[in-house]
Chain A
Amino acid sequence: MSMETTALAITDDAAPDDEAVQRRLGASFWICVAWLVVIILAAILAPYLGLKDPNQNYINRDLGRPPYSPSAEHWFGTDQDARDVFSRTIYGGRVSLTVGFTAIASGMIIGGTLGMLAGYLRGWLDRVISFVFLVLLSFPALVLAILITSLLDRKLSTIAGVLGFLAIAPIGRLARATTIQFAEREFVLAARTLGANRLRIMVRELLPNVLIPMGALALLGMAVAIVAEGALAFLGLSVQKEETWGKLILLGAGTRDLQEAPWISMGPILILFLTVLALNFAGDKLREYFDVREISL
């Protein structure tokens, strides 16, 4: 179901039938994709879905003081200020998903470029870049994020940038390893014999091959980035203005709130968990499908 089976398939050479079974993505993959599509569409179209206003206080005199428990009116209940948790979660998804996507996209562009340069050109450039990756990886990622976000402002772009920065080293290492693996292959040699220059070889021959494992890693990375944003929120370092899933969960995480109104945090946790699970699962399946081995994850 996940990568162990891949590993098994790799070691187990004498099972071609198994191989054929492995090369299907399966229904569970498409369920995950469907969930992701739904949640992304909901986030993009949030203002047009007829959701409740996320910032409006829906005080109901019959029910007394907020928070109100989940009901047909408020699916996930309301928070301490009588704001609708469901609609806040969907709106929060806009920011969380944006952060996750931007982070991983920038990490892929920078890390991928550096990794490919290091892997193809080798020499001193490779040594320098590899050492930089090593240094970045020898920080616990969250600690580096704490350091940078506490020094910079907490705009959405900054948080996304910081998380993207953190993605550079792992993605770069994967890109480097894959490039090295492919740089020795016949089609690269053929291109070089035909007189293609380095840039052309990198862009036309190597890039497509590097992109496949990176794409699978990107889904996992997006999950990691979304979770990291939540973790930053719990350290008081997330996006300052907009609501995110992490901040919404934090809002209901106090002992008293958990006692009296667990739905304030449980609603966003549910959505966050399903999304992260879907990203992880889909990424895992893709990796299995494209037979990406666990190079330095």
Chain B
Amino acid sequence: MTPKDIDSERLSAIIDKHKAERWSLIPLLQEIQEAFGYIPPESIETIAYALNIFPVEIQGVITFYAGFSLLPKGKYVLKVCRGTACHVKGGRSILRLIKSELGLEEGETGEDYQFTLETTACLGACALAPTMMINRSYFGKLSPPKVTAILAHHSKEKE
């Protein structure tokens, strides 16, 4: 998802939906993240005003959880497993290959906002090692040719 001007109407609709609820901050942030792909930093103060808490407290919550991001992410978020089983099955080379294919380091997002590369401690699908996820889909028993094919399938040109 390319970051564009934030749809402020959509943002206030999400805030309005949650602001009357008690303990509404995390569901609210999740919904914003879902809608925009990340939590736009400039929305923090609007949220804070609606919920009557300090903006910096919201930032504290966002940075605490790995699931929230203040930076815009690519259309496809790759989560490459770095768990023990995947490591044994060559997860390190898979990661190295993806890095060079995409030209991204861990935690980076491409300039065209197509891909974001992340690693994770374990995806819990060790039988399929080495594994990764793209958005919500699993890809298992990865090999270099398979990775190249998957990446090509998700690339801009293919769309």
Q: A and B from one assembly?
A: no
Give the B-binding residues of A (Cβ under 8 A).
Answer: none
